[in-house]
A and B are shown apart, each in its own frame.
Chain A
Amino acid sequence: MSIKVSGVTRRFGDFVALDDVSVDLPTGQLTALLGPSGGGKSTLLRIIAGLESADAGTVEIEGVEATHLPPQKRNVGFVFQHYAAFKHMTVAKNVAFGLEIRKRDKADIKDKVAELLDLVHLSQFGDRLPAQLSGGQRQRMALARALAVEPSVLLLDEPFGALDAKVRKELRDWLRRLHDEVPVTTVFVTHDQEEALEVADEIVVINEGRVEQVGTPDELYDAPANDFVMSFLGPVTSLRGQLYRPHDIEVFDHPRIAGAVPAVIDRQLRVGFEVRLTLELLDDPGHEPLTVTVTRATQRHLGLREGLEVWLAPTHGAPAVPTLPRSVELVG
């Protein structure tokens, strides 16, 4: 294991940012710390980097006990949400910073910087100041700067959070490719589940200072550990005490399916190729309305329209978790 976090707790006054968190992050992988804002994921990343200290617990990096090491001795690369570019230095100088601190040979530094600028497609911008770059370019510069010192782990704190949607998506794909080229153990923090599902090899879901689940994107999506993970990773709807994905509930125009429940279409909204239905259960008027998505083809085939009576059943093998209140779940 490249990074081993054991029993880390961090409080800010009365607020518990991390509550006895233990997690192992494997070598050479791209891991996402995913969770809602204020859930503790950034704090965990900063504790791994040594920019924040833990009240209790230990951090091990590449087998070295790092809990009390200052950040400059941990050999981690850190990329900040707002770039943290050295404003008074050129792009090349920014990238060279870590190497100059390490007193590397001048010619070596020059070669390494050229190589890294090429890697992040900023070769022709070496002499510019960070203020003359776009947000995406600045973040690529920050990545090159972090990679220059050949860190044993690369930590990224919401690296694309300050960028607009299009650049964000480009950089995301680019990070994935970069990681395949330069397979350094990488951990990035995000609150965007799509970003995590798309980029990461492994996802750690963190909420309210605790780890909810660790797994590959597929594991998390197909076998969520609880209702929080399920609802954080995508849209959900509840049917008789179980949470399902809206596309995992099938709509029938006849009751001849075992366990199918009768419902009436309250509203339907078409968005491109999919149709979102809002339905009321006929035999359970107190039940909250259901959301079901069907394809445009299904809608046409069944002749779905508002006011129509239909039967609903979850598809075979659809992931589902009970919608029990969390406090009860914790006691049990």
Chain B
Amino acid sequence: MTVSTDASVVGVRDLVKRYGDEAAVDDLSFSLAAGTVTGFLGPNGAGKTTTLRLLLGLAEPSAGEALVFGRHYRELDRPSCLVGAVLESDDFHPGRSGRDHLRVLAAATSIPEGRVDEVLDLVGLTSAARRAVKTYSLGMRQRLGLAGALLGDPDLLVLDEPANGLDPAGVQWLRSVLRSFADGGGTVLVSSHLLAEVAQSVDRVLIISQGRLVADAALDELAGPNQSLEDVYLELTAETVS
């Protein structure tokens, strides 16, 4: 087992993922410190999702490494107790109830069933818990996904476009969940293609374009005196489009 001496929660070094001749992730390096909320931004197709999959052991990098808590994800035993992740908004069996979906995940990590009801309550799905997921709205599915990520009471949350499909009240709710998670010492990496969606809830942004990191800064460092955050974001992500 490779144990890195790096104390960062997430450590990505010289990460490359190629599909044929195309590099979806191109020499990416960044790290996350504990207790921070980091926005992972970039236009669609910039390589955000690929990076998260490499970090979570679902895909193998072509070069470099992506570590969580100093280790490769696939070397973690019961990773749900360290890392909670949602990659797609619809990773459910349509005929299974929301509660049973969580019971499947709980059984995989020996999490007691009482915790299933706790997280259902936390995301506001208690009354719909015994209904089949196919009857859920997109917003309810996002909440169920988040419930699954929170199940193991992790220290790191990795969320890929969690605000997709949420109404304004849902986005506000999501922000408050992320904020309170970080206030409790947790670390959050949340991706989005919309800066406005995360600007109010993140401490720091990583911006990638065409697989390369184009900005790594605290939110207030990013905008200049005559530029809005949105302008900077668009400029950074447009620059590398040839």
Decide if A and B are genuine partners: no
